[in-house]
Amino acid sequence: MFNNLHNRIICAMAAMAFCTLATAQFRINLGETSPIRKLSIAEMAINSLYVDSVDENKLVEDAIRGMLEKLDPHSSYSTPKEVQQFNEPLVGNFEGIGVQFNMLDDTLLVVQTINDGPSEKVGILAGDRIVTVNDTAIAGVEMSKEEIMRRLRGPKGSKVRVGVKRSGISDLVYFTITRDKIPLNTVDASYLIRPGIGYIRLSSFGMTTLKELTDCFTKLRQQGMHDLILDLQDNGGGFLQAAADVLNEFLERGDLLVYTEGRTVPRQEFRAQGNGSFRNGRVVVLVNEYSASAAEIVSGAIQDQDRGIVIGRRTYGKGLVQRPVDLPDGSMIRLTVAHYYTPSGRCIQKPYVKGDMKGYYNDLEKRYIHGEFTNADSIHFSDSLKYETLKKHRTVYGGGGIMPDFFVPLDTMRYTRYHRELSARSVIINANLRFAEKYRKQLLKLYGTEADPTDKHGNPIEGKGFKAYEAGYEVPQSLMDEIFSEGEKQGIKPKDDAEKQLTTIELNRQLKALIARDLWSMTEYFRVVNEANDAVKCALEQLK
């Protein structure tokens, strides 16, 4: 039995001896002393002889994970389900009903419907509570958010029946929704922040990013934009090609954007084609310690090519290129094959010790304790890490991440301990959701359904829209009191009146931004919070 099973394994592996990995090929060595042969015998012995039954699939998955964990922090294994979830935000769409929601008191509360999506078409409204899906209760029961999403999602063309509790209506209202492709946008916000200065915030780099960005350019130019603030704060990256496409919009023909190189992967360069739509006009890129990967490629190239300036704090330092290895069951290995380098030759990847995952992922905490987030003088680079920009020959530094041209310290005083605890326990967001549900109609009647309404001649309508809201709306004290009262019920109290006063200032701004988001979109949220964002203020100062 042992020999027969062993022979079957060897034959099966021999049939898979060649595997295509993008343009490269590799051959599996099945010689007598081959490590692969050794691994297959070990797996076969455990599966055939171990005292208890084992899950063979899990055994193989654990072996793969074990091998990858000893390599670098970003080589990884994903199950078929994880592959699908990973790809959705990058590909740019998924199939479902098209709502943005939050969980409030164990109930799904619709925050917004996706414009022209399936839910909007049948009449689902912001503020609706979805309590049943296909006659199964999802409210007031112990059901995870993931399970609720699974029930609402489904293949394009399939139907789902939802029961909705709507304010002012005693009985449930039922809707049959035909699922469809739902776009996932990577632009969080886009607006004219000052006369002539556009602001665009990118959350990631996906397949739809270039079109979204150029659409924003067109819209903002019509409003008089000639300079741009590109906000990549908290942008964790995405597709390399999307980053190259974005850079192509800003740089001249032949300009080097980024290059990759590895032990078995020859140098591959990405250069601008010279057909970008924003090759003139000043550019400021905002980054912080959570800007990573593709965000670092963009900020590094803008800096190295002297196309613009970078403002904020040193970026994360994720510069390893992963290549997907698709496995027969739909799972995937993402294997690091090369490094990213900026045009000046800087390696984006921060140093790491192979196998020390804990140390690698605690790096940001170490940087915080060291004072790097609050004091530029705490950051020191050796002369060996000095590089020069390609046109103006300014000094920039390698060694992991992108060091900005202008440092903006983290304001550790803005969010008090009291504020952070109220936020962590969801006291603030739940109070805001209840408030928006109760007063949405009243506020929309007062300010209008459009953030920037115009008359038939294209002129702004006075007293309506976001500008009227920004100038005239004040967060009611009753909402603040509700938050403080609920916090006290949960044992969250300020240490003194001074902490409560500081909390009140920032909480007021946060609530005004959240209410604006619930009335219109994420753009209006950022239109509020950006007026107090130190990096944005620094960018505006540089563009004066």
Residue count (the chain): 544
Tokens of 448: 């209008």
Q: Do 250 and 282 form a contact (C-beta atoms < 8 A)?
A: no
Within 10 Å of residue 84's Cβ, how many Cβ atoms? 13
Q: Would you give the distance in Å from CA 121 to the centre of its chain?
A: 28
Contact of 292 with 203, CB cutoff 8 Å:
no
User: What CA–CA distance (Å, rounded) separates 304 from 392?
Assistant: 9
Out of 72, 188, 304, 363, pick the active-site residue: 304
Q: CA–CA separation, 80 vs 93, rounded Å?
A: 18
Catalytic pick among 190, 293, 344, 521: 293
318 in catalytic set: yes
Output the six-digit token pair for 90: 């990058």
Q: List the structure tokens of 8.
A: 């079957």
The catalytically annotated residue of 203, 255, 318, 331 is: 318
Strand 129-133 to strand 136-137: parallel, antiparallel, or no bridges (unpaired)? antiparallel
Complete DSSP assignment for 147-209 = HHHHHH---TT-EEEEEEE-TT-SS-EEEEEE-EEEE--SEEEEEEEETTEEEEEES-B-TTH
Residues 176 and 316: their CA atoms lie apart, in Å, by 45
User: What is the rounded CA–CA span in Å between residue 47 and residue 60?
Assistant: 10
Q: How far is CA 380 from CA 290, 320, 352, 397, in A?
A: 20, 23, 18, 10
How many other CB atoms are found less than 10 A from the CB of residue 456?
Answer: 5
Q: Is 306 marked active-site?
A: no
Q: How far apart are CA 537 and CA 42, in angstroms?
A: 61
Q: Of 226, 228, 400, 411, whose CA–CA distance to 312 is shortest?
A: 411
293 as an active site residue: the answer is yes
DSSP letter, residue 92 = T
- β-pair type (24-27, 76-78): unpaired
Collapsing DSSP states into helix, strand and coil, what is residue 97? coil
Write out the catalytic residue numbers.
293, 304, 318
